[in-house]
Structure 1
């Protein structure tokens, strides 16, 4: 089986970012990268704040936030009246967990593909409320039908209050069949929270037709927004039950205003987010998506080949639409969180390359992303130098 070919570079795209040219940034999925034009938009807004803070916060800010929310919700295929801006996906998860009113007879169900900070949030809320946290094991090679069946069997009607499932998983780059999972959960009367941290900007209209009770997604990754920009989407039946983590002056306005208004926080990231979508549209949304997915597949192929992993053994759990790919590391490497962090740091310091390394299911995995500022030779350089570094145990 031959290796995939890299896509044609998008001319001039690298110049849109202020990334250090001495480093290969192959991990866009963790913290993103903000285009220069979006940085400047946010700085102009910060200048506006400091020119007259009282005017900025007290004359029309709620309306500006509402306008921004409607713009972002339209891009995502979400109902603007059921969408709240928030600082990140894990904050949205915490809002949902706190609003459910869990008790000792309840359980929250997650999968072993979930994001670590979300699991920590679930555990904390379960400790506080006396509820139970249970984890479903989902094989990396499971088909969509098999995943749906695992969820079906794992639900406990009358006890499972919430199912948390990823739309696109962080450690394994797996695209989950969320619409089918939500349909199964609804048959059993179980609410579903979709963690879609990586979906905005990467997947087209990711909220549309999922049917989830709750959906959270970050705009700062694949939507080119400043960090601290995310959305929480809530189905109509739940909106009057949502409580913010901090009460402020818009509390009586109800959702989404009570979640969005957090006193004197920095709102400039949110107000700059439409500039990120403008950048994405200027490059061509479909063009960017196909480029990034193809580049990630190429990177996975060349790095996997350098580590002796046959193309047939390289996981492809996300399909062609996903701009993240994983490569299995040699046995015994990065099998714990500490080991994964240590290896990621070694790669960064010795190879001048930023990647993600995750410990999942007893094995270490290298995660590579594709973005418009990346080029094929960056993955090739990593492939040429990584085996020697890994051999130095």
Structure 2
């Protein structure tokens, strides 16, 4: 099937009058995947009881099997949640930390996760340490040395993004996981932007906990992410909401416990009260859509466009790049002189029909571009022409 930007743009429901350079925030769903999503909703409404009491478990099993094959982990080791914030909150709810012990993170993490860790640390008396990672990044070795300089004997967990939301940088997570194991530190990886953006092999990476959004770069409808928990930690993990599937009668698999999984981990999480889980069933369709459109070549094209766009913009601003090219995928945060970030974003959207996030990081002002398969060189030209008028 055709996978040029013009052909792909027709397969998404995005407003054709908007230059959409913000796939990273909430993603965008292709029409065939969205159609499948709506069909699941129709099936639910046609047979509400049959669907909720039987079909839902079959579809969850099918979906987890597809995702497990895609990210290379056992389907019994992953559960679905609405978003990575929910997943991280679940892990925080279960971490075993004593007063004075530490969780090591960075100053580059997503704000909602920072807030949860900060709150929980204040309540329980442990420390949430945010390593100050200086920008621009020069190379991997310097980054790793700076990061580990904040660790000590009290560090029990590392919480870190594989691709950071604010910078778009791909951090050296494989090296961090390996070093953490040597130090006896457990790893909690926020991979919100990873699935279908860069390669993810859970068994090879071997983190203790991992979460990724599937409505971003995999292009499922909004509200689906996964939480992976290593088998040795599944026995004691508790959901924040306890419902059917939790309790003594589910501690051992019994066929009479209708259509529940042999896995306690799956049992206690997959049913948390009545809700429309249709989005959780769309993973096979999203994977198939990208396979049919040769998404590896789409990703490669998008990466080249990101690098080209960043080069052209920094030629205009003469400001430094925050990291080398090989730290980027389909997103890049680019420094830009902005007096009022809120007004600047409104001007971009209202006057130039450009959708992209604008931010402040320490003393810097910047914006982040996301390039997906439906973006064209014409989109980049329009952005740069607009920036030249605004600078």
TM-score normalised over the length of structure 2: 0.90
Task: Give the drift of 1:109.
Answer: 1.6
- Do residues 101 (structure 1) and 96 (structure 2) align? yes
**Root mean square deviation of aligned Cα:** 1.9
The alpha-carbon deviation at position 93 of structure 1 amounts to 0.5
Per the TM alignment, residue 350 of structure 1 is displaced from its structure 2 partner at its CA by 2.0
Contact 2:6 2:376 in 1 (8 A): no
**2:9 aligned residue (9, 14, 17):** 14
The residue number in structure 2 matching 1:327 is 334
Aligned to 1:268: 278
1:59: Cα distance to partner?
Answer: 1.6
2: distance between equivalents of 1:340 and 1:230? 30
Tell me how far apart the structure 2 counterparts of residues 44 and 92 of structure 1 sit (CA, whole Å).
27
Q: Does 1:190 align with 2:193?
A: no
TM-score (norm 1): 0.89
Q: Which runs of 5+ in 1 are unaligned?
A: 1-7
1:150 to partner: Cα distance? 2.4
The structure-2 alpha-carbon separation of the partners of 1:260 and 1:359, relative to structure 1 and needing over 3 Å to count, comes to farther
Q: From 141, 145, 154, give the equivalent of 1:149.
A: 145
Q: Is 1:218–1:229's contact at 8 Å kept on the other side of the alignment?
A: yes
Q: In the TM superposition, what is the alpha-carbon distance from 1:314 to its structure 2 partner? A: 2.8
1:158-202 deviations in Å (ceiling 9; x for gaps): x22221111111111111111111121122211111111111001
5+ residue gaps, structure 2: 251-263
Q: Any conservation in 1 of the 2:84–2:212 contact (CA below 8 Å)? A: yes
Matching residue of 2:173: 178
Distance in 1, matches of 2:341 and 2:361, equals 10
Alignment match, 1:303: 313
Give the structure 2 partner of residue 169 of structure 1: 164
Check conservation: 2:307, 2:325, Cα contact below 8 A.
no
Equivalent position of 2:260 in the other structure? none
Q: Is the Cα contact below 8 Å between 1:340 and 1:357 reproduced in 2?
A: yes
Q: Shift of the alpha carbon at 1:344?
A: 2.3
SS class of match (2:226): strand
2:304 pairs, out of 283, 294, 302, with 294
Aligned to 1:5: none
Q: 1:318 to 1:208 in 2, by over 3 A?
A: farther
Tell me if the contact between 2:224 and 2:280 (Cα under 8 Å) persists in the aligned partners.
Answer: yes
Deviation sequence 1:220-241 (CA, Å, 0-9, x none): 1110111111111111221112
Q: Is the CA contact 2:334–2:367 (under 8 Å) kept in the aligned structure 1? A: yes
